[in-house]
Amino acid sequence: MDAKSIQQSSTILRHSKSNRIKIKPFSKSTFVLRITLAIMAILTVLSFATINFQTIDFWAGLVDTVTNFQTMFTTPQLNHFSFWEGFYAVLITMGLAFLTTLFGAALGLLFGLLSAENLSNKRVSNVIKGSVAFIRAVPTVLWVLIFAVAAGLGSVAAVIGMTFHSAGYLIKAYSESFEELDEGVIEALRASGASWWQIVVQAVIPSSLSYLVSWTFMRFEINFSVAVAMGAAAGAGGIGYNMFMASSFYFDLNEIGAITYYILTFAVLLEVIAIRFKTNISGH
């Protein structure tokens, strides 16, 4: 088709003023998107313009904050526990994160399979997806506090609550990974007489393994930071508790700095291990 016949066969949309050719036809969704962006921009400007500092002098506050950070990070120091005690505390936090991710992953795998539309029936899938959406809508901390009613504040409530939310998260993540799988592969194995479990283990999981690993590590990282917070908020122990004590009981800035370094080191370590693992998997 030459340019002339294109012009004849379809009307080309042009901007009314500049007469340039449009590449995106006007639609409701682009309109809504633009309105949303505009409103957000206005609100951002407005909120900064109307911040009420009350009696606090902004510049003095800024200087104080910087000084505090300086104390924390340039002169870290352990005053209320030893290096190895701290190390042990981080391990406990890590353990909490690991355990809850493991439980979450096990539940995620089972219910993820049952809620993947290509592996399950529509009814079951919808019921699971609905309940999981509800579980995820409630924040992890709240789940821990809810279970604390029965189990009392402490590690048990933290494990149950965090497992609950991890499972919710991983069920969704896994089932979406499973749904990515080419329908034809499942069909091929079904047509050769393979059973559901055989198809799952022989085709579905190998095909989505790299997704599963990424999502699981992602959740492990989230659970690590939640576990730190749980130590402080729910008395689950670990480095979070030391942090809580240092900050609201001893007001010890140097110790907070030291604890931050602990957490940072482990978080980086975790990331490195995760990357190693993932490259190994995708390289077969």
Partner 1 sequence: MTTLLNVQHVSKQYGHDTLALSDVSFSVNEGEFVSVIGPSGAGKSTLLRCINQMVDTTDGEIHFDNAILQQMNKRELRGLRTNIGMIFQHYNLVERLTVIENVLHGRLGYKSTVAGMLGLYKEEEKERGIELLEMLGLREQIYKRCDQLSGGQKQRVGIARALIQEPKMLLCDEPIASLDPNASKRIMDHLKSISRSMGITALVNLHQVDVALSYSDRIIGVSGGKIVFDGSPKEVTQEIIQSIYGSEANDLMVKLGGQNAI
Instruction: List residues near partner 1 by CB under 8 A.
Output: 182, 184-185, 187-195, 197-203, 206-207, 209, 284
Q: Which is nearer to partner 1, 58 or 197 (CB)?
A: 197
Q: Which is nearer to partner 1, 211 or 244 (CB)?
A: 211
Q: What is the DSSP string of 43-104?
A: HHHHHHHT---TT--HHHHHHHHHHHHHHHHHS---SSS-HHHHHHHHHHHHHHHHHHHHHH
**Smallest separation (angstroms) from partner 1 to the CB of 177:** 13
Q: Which is nearer to partner 1, 136 or 190 (CB)?
A: 190
Q: Which is nearer to partner 1, 37 or 201 (CB)?
A: 201
User: What is the rounded CA–CA span in Å between residue 36 and residue 8?
Assistant: 37
Q: Which is nearer to partner 1, 201 or 275 (CB)?
A: 201
Q: Classify the C-alpha dihedral 147-150-152-154 as positive or negative.
A: negative
**Smallest separation (angstroms) from partner 1 to the CB of 282:** 9
Query: By C-alpha distance, which of 166, 268, 275 is closest to 226?
Result: 166
Name the token pair of 72. Answer: 């924390």
**Smallest separation (angstroms) from partner 1 to the CB of 30:** 33
**Smallest separation (angstroms) from partner 1 to the CB of 214:** 15
In 3-state terms, what secondary structure has residue 251?
coil
**Smallest separation (angstroms) from partner 1 to the CB of 122:** 14
